[in-house]
Chains A and B, each alone.
Chain A
Amino acid sequence: MVKTIDINQSHEFAESIINTVREPLIALDQDLRVVSVSRSFYQFFKVNPEETVGQLIYDLGNKQWDIPKLRELLETILPQQTAFDNYEVEHNFVTIGRRTMLLNARQIQRVSGKERIILLAIEDITERREIENGLEKTRIELEATKISEDAAREYAESIINTVREPLIALDQDLRVVSVSRSFYQFFKVNPEETVGQLIYDLGNKQWDIPKLRELLETILPHQTAFDNYEVDHNFVTIGRRTMLLNARQIQRVSGKERIILLAIEDITENKKLEREMVEAMDIAQAATLAKSEFLANMSHELRTPLNSINGFSEVLYDETFGPLNEKQKKYVNNVIISGRHLLLLINQILDMAKVESGKMNMALSSLPMKNLLHEISLLGADMVSKKNLQMSLEIDENLPNIEADELKIKEILYNLLSNAVKFSFEGGQIGMRAKKIDSEIEIVVWDTGIGIAPENMEKIFEGFFRVDTPYSQVTEGTGLGLPLSKKLVELHGGELSVVSEGLYRGTSVRVTLPITSKTEV
């Protein structure tokens, strides 16, 4: 009879601890199936109770827990030892991304039977690795000194000692009943000066905090719990810290006494990180704003003189106010060509900046690609015939319309076509192919021209990279056409890749574009 009460009581005690600590905690049976899980586990790993309890641990949340190192721990190490401390596992979790987790486990022989229960505490130390380093040694030493006698209490004690979050149990007079090993480590106090003491008197009265008094004496008698109460305090032993307090009040079955469980989490570093992140965001936002203002100003300031340069040159060239001789006409034409080149550069640089800052607006419509490709080939016909090139078009009869920004698609295709012309030998061959592949269309613009040397394959996307050859004049391009085209293709959710067998072996540029736009407008 006495034993039953003990077990019930300890069970309740244990459950309360599980739900008080903020560190995710999981209890497994000997087949490694989940027996119970703390509420923080659900929050942290973004899973539901239904998809957790009864499951094999490796199957949890889309099998994201099927980690080789965890298997080794649970299947190889744990059967030989009854516990492991601070086993670091770095893993890419499906729901929360790449994290470094610190695993602590205890294996407990249940009093009533032969079954074993494995308690696994999971701490995310991705941001807190530094603090933990110094604590490692002391913890193991202290651990060795702890031997539990009472089998019923062992379960609870094990939990307290498994979690790395400092945990303290108080009686109704707010005197310390027991304390987790991590509490001693964290607050640099000894067991002798802790157990039996009034909480406020601990470690040179450093716990005599008005806010804690309010919590324990005013709030807790009315509610049976409080969650995530933040306390900022200057502790004698460890300095100014922000602590997150979680508490549960438990009525013991056997008597009228109450037990208060208090979990203390040091969130000083987290808060600091949070603050730094907000600051960084503010700075980044200000920088983005300053950048777009700068770009708008730059655009305006460059266009204003260019208006004069291009405008007056055109007026001269058109001989509006009198005839020019041949040389004058040629020279003023050079000014016009350079001025237009400069304008193209300005426009492309601004477009690159807009794409990069996510400010490029998309005007989507249904594009009849078959017509559009023919239209582009007609646009290029002039430059094609100037170089005596042969252009072949292989456009699939069933090429579907695509949802895209017309001007941008035209710009991309015209860019690629003029590159094909530009980098072709006199009398060479170029062409465009287009067909549907699954949910995309594929367009290939190819030439048999100068090709790209393998060592330049990466550079062609860097911007301002141009190959100097006898076949292309430096002034012809801006060196931004291809990088910008790639960005514009990607903006549509497609891909642009370049293939060349090598120098003088031709080039083909492959563009894929989704038929239905993935872009959010």
Chain B
Amino acid sequence: MRKRVLVVDDNANNLLLEKDLLEVAGFEVFEAKNATDGIALARKEKPDIILMDVRLPDMRGTEAARILRQDKEARNIPIIFVTASVMAEGVEEIKNIPNSGFIGKPINTRTFVKEISQFIK
């Protein structure tokens, strides 16, 4: 069965890049351009993994993650923050979110899918 992944990123180019890489690797990809849509999609589709930008237009990706961690259906989905906030403050912010990972932008397109797959049970 194809693995299902939700990508939340407000930058259309970066969203497309991640989608391409994942689809080429055989994932089924759901996209959202803001946190609200992302949360709704996560609840509806229950993907195997969520890739989340941190600076989103409506709220921070970490805030969205906290909401999902309260959600009965979505609380166990691993969340990988794919973010350009790679400085200490940014890393600190996501440290306390359970079952989460971190990939800094710019991503390495050759290892990206492998890094993601490691988080899927």
A interface with B by C-beta (< 8 Å)? 295-296, 299-301, 303-312, 314-315, 318, 320-321, 339, 343, 350, 359, 361
Identify 8 residue pairs between A and B in the complex whose beta-carbon atoms are under 8 Å apart, listed by A's number: A295-B87, A296-B89, A299-B86, A303-B106, A304-B84, A311-B14, A314-B109, A318-B110
A-B pairs with lowest CB-CB distance, top 9 = A303-B84, A308-B13, A307-B105, A307-B106, A314-B109, A311-B17, A300-B84, A310-B106, A303-B105
Q: State the CA gap A320–B106 with chains docked (Å).
A: 19
Tell me the residues in window 26-70 of chain B with beta carbons closer than 8 Å to chain A beta carbons: 55
B76 interface contact, C-beta 8 A: no
Task: Contact check, A296 vs B87: say whether CB atoms are below 8 A apart.
Answer: yes
Contacts of A311 in B (CB 8 A): 14, 17, 21, 106-107, 109
Q: Closest residue of chain B to A317, judged by CB?
A: B109
Contacts of A310 in B (CB 8 A): 106, 109
Q: Closest residue of chain A to B83, judged by CB?
A: A300
Q: State the CA gap A262–B121 with chains docked (Å).
A: 82
Knowing A312-B17, A318-B109, the reply to whether A361 touches B24 (Cβ < 8 A) is no
B117 interface contact, C-beta 8 A: no
Tell me the residues in window 1-35 of chain B with beta carbons closer than 8 Å to chain A beta carbons: 11, 13-14, 17, 20-21, 24
Tell me the residues in window 57-103 of chain B with beta carbons closer than 8 Å to chain A beta carbons: 84-90
Q: Closest residue of chain A to B89, judged by CB?
A: A296
Task: Contact check, A296 vs B109: say whether CB atoms are below 8 A apart.
Answer: no
For residue B91, give the distance in angstroms from its CB to the closest CB of chain A: 11
Q: Closest residue of chain B to A360, judged by CB?
A: B88
Q: Closest residue of chain B to A301, judged by CB?
A: B84
For residue A18, give the distance in angstroms from its CB to the closest CB of chain B: 55
Task: Contact check, A306 vs B110: say whether CB atoms are below 8 A apart.
Answer: no
Contacts of A320 in B (CB 8 A): 20, 24
Task: Contact check, B20 vs A304: say whether CB atoms are below 8 A apart.
Answer: no
Q: State the CA gap A359–B87 with chains docked (Å).
A: 11
Contacts of B24 in A (CB 8 A): 320
Task: Contact check, A308 vs B20: say whether CB atoms are below 8 A apart.
Answer: no
For residue A363, give the distance in angstroms from its CB to the closest CB of chain B: 12
Q: Closest residue of chain A to B108, judged by CB?
A: A314
Task: Contact check, A303 vs B109: say whether CB atoms are below 8 A apart.
Answer: no
For residue B80, give the distance in angstroms from its CB to the closest CB of chain A: 15
Q: Closest residue of chain B to A295, judged by CB?
A: B87
Task: Contact check, B14 vs A307: say whether CB atoms are below 8 A apart.
Answer: yes
For residue A319, give the distance in angstroms from its CB to the closest CB of chain B: 11
Task: Contact check, B17 vs A307: say whether CB atoms are below 8 A apart.
Answer: yes
Contacts of B89 in A (CB 8 A): 296
Q: Closest residue of chain B to A306, judged by CB?
A: B106
Contacts of B13 in A (CB 8 A): 305, 307-308, 312
Task: Contact check, B20 vs A307: say whether CB atoms are below 8 A apart.
Answer: no
Q: State the CA gap A236–B90 with chains docked (Å).
A: 60
Which residue, A303, A311, A315, A361, has most C-beta atoms of chain B within 10 A?
Answer: A311
Q: State the CA gap A304–B17 with chains docked (Å).
A: 12
Q: State the CA gap A321–B21 with chains docked (Å).
A: 11
Contacts of A303 in B (CB 8 A): 84, 86, 104-106
Task: Contact check, A314 vs B110: say whether CB atoms are below 8 A apart.
Answer: yes
Task: Contact check, A300 vs B17: say whether CB atoms are below 8 A apart.
Answer: no
Q: Closest residue of chain A to B12, judged by CB?
A: A308
For residue B39, give the distance in angstroms from its CB to the closest CB of chain A: 22
Contacts of A321 in B (CB 8 A): 20
Q: State the CA gap A402–B66 with chains docked (Å).
A: 42
Q: Closest residue of chain A to B55, judged by CB?
A: A300
Task: Contact check, B87 vs A307: say whether CB atoms are below 8 A apart.
Answer: no
Contacts of A306 in B (CB 8 A): 105-106
Q: State the CA gap A309–B109 with chains docked (Å).
A: 11
